[in-house]
Amino acid sequence: MSAVNHQIRLAARPVGLPKPSDWSYTEEPAGEPGEGEVLVKILYLSLDPAMRGWMNDARSYIAPVGVGDVMRALAAGRVVASNHAGLAVGDHVTGLLGAQEYAVVSGDAVGKIDPELASPPTYLGTLGMPGMTAYFGLLDIGHPAAGETVVVSGAAGAVGGVVGQLAKLQGARAVGIAGGAEKCRYVVEELGFDAAIDYKSQDVAEGLREHCPRGIDVYFDNVGGEILDAALARLARHARVVICGAVSQYNATGAMRGPSNYMSLLVNHASMTGFVVSDYGDRYLEGVREMTGWLTAGKLVSREDVAEGGLERFPETLLRLFEGANTGKLVLRVAADE
């Protein structure tokens, strides 16, 4: 008898913040793996700001999730049945398994992880998509030099926290922008940033003047909006702006807000470059190898914010990203690893 699989499906395209009625909670048999496939019991779902974009019917770097489809989600789980030569029952894997309790997928579409080396949530964070996003975005596009000043927004988030730590490993100064005193404390005291600016209680432009007296050499943007404009106004000559996300704008119901200070690029001979981590598919293993090395050597701190309550809590847990409620990588525990 197949196990029961519950699923979170997209019921309607959201306008603004996703509402409960934009989702449906469904039930069907978990199914059996066919040739080359595995059945994975999902332990943790990854909650990522990019999910909001996947819900829109718009041409982007990836096709939108169809209305009625299981929500696209990265996840970590345990193989419970296998018809794939490389994977055995009990192996831990990550991949695009969807917002559900069980997934039948090609064994080639998942990656085996080692829970002795790092926890499954860490494989969804620092050793997963957010960590690789930080690695390639900062090092390949921002390429900070020793002594330069790197500023990152969303600094207490899954990507931003890694960006600042990688900047420090390159010998650069790291300044984070985050919301709230506790996040700022975390960024400086736990992650080792040189300074943090609390955008909820401080003027960001003033904070940037104070902490970046010679300007910003690399600005890694996760948020867009006013903070992007404040950073643009403070660029150093030949600055590199890395566009990784714009979480402040993802739920906007009107037009997206463009950076009105973009002419700072002209004045400073600066560049603004966007990317998505899938652009680096051919170098992904390099990123995982490097990041694993730093993590196991104690040079990188990884923190995950684990939401409890099972799959049904997916809709409300996702909203925490847009409220800025999480510190570190936000994951939802779907099942115990037993």
| Residues at the contact surface with a second copy, assessed by CB under 8 A | 60-61, 224, 229, 243-246, 249, 255-276, 279
Residue 152 C-beta: closest distance to a second copy, Å: 16
Q: Which is nearer to a second copy, 50 or 195 (CB)?
A: 50
Dist. CA 80–CA 83, nearest whole Å: 11
CA distance 203 to 186: 20
Phi and psi dihedrals of 74, rounded to 5? -75, 150
Query: What is the nearest approach in angstroms of a second copy to the Cβ of residue 265?
Result: 3
**Smallest gap, in angstroms, from Cβ of residue 261 to a second copy?**
7
Which of residues 132 and 187 has its CB atom nearest to a second copy in the complex? 132
Nearer to a second copy, 281 or 298 (CB): 281
Please choose, from the candidates 329, 330, 291, the residue with its C-alpha nearest in 3D space to the C-alpha of residue 161: 329
What's the CA gap between 77 and 95, in Å, rounded?
9
Q: Kind of pairing, strands 216-221 and 173-178?
A: unpaired
Q: Minimum distance between the CB of residue 303 and a second copy, rounded to whole angstroms?
A: 26
Helix 129-136 / helix 284-296 crossing angle, nearest 10 deg: 100
Which residue blocks in the chain are alpha helix, DSSP H? 50-54, 120-124, 129-136, 158-169, 181-185, 204-211, 225-232, 264-267, 284-296, 314-323
Residue 244 CB, nearest distance to a second copy (Å)? 7
Decide: helix, strand or coil at residue 105.
strand
Q: Decide whether 70 or 247 has the Cβ nearer to a second copy.
A: 247
CB of 259 to a second copy, least distance (A): 4
Check if the beta carbon of residue 105 is closer than 8 Å to that of residue 80: no
CB of 276 to a second copy, least distance (A): 6
**Closer residue to a second copy in complex, CB, 19/237:** 237
- Which residues have a Cβ under 8 Å from the Cβ of 108 and sit 6 or more positions away? 36, 84
Strands 111-113 and 92-96: antiparallel
Q: Which is nearer to a second copy, 185 or 257 (CB)?
A: 257
CB nearer to a second copy: pick between 50 and 103: 50
Closer to a second copy at the Cβ: 262 or 284?
262
Please name the residues in contact with 13: beta carbons below 8 A apart, sequence gap of 6 or more: 22, 55, 56, 57, 67
Q: Name which of 148 and 221 has its Cβ closer to a second copy.
A: 221
Instruction: Report the alpha-carbon distance of residue 154 to residue 187 in Å, rounded.
Output: 10
Q: What's phi and psi for 4, nearest 5 deg?
A: -85, 130
Q: How far is the CB of 61 from a second copy (least distance, A)?
A: 5
> In angstroms, what is the minimal distance from the CB of 245 to a second copy?
8
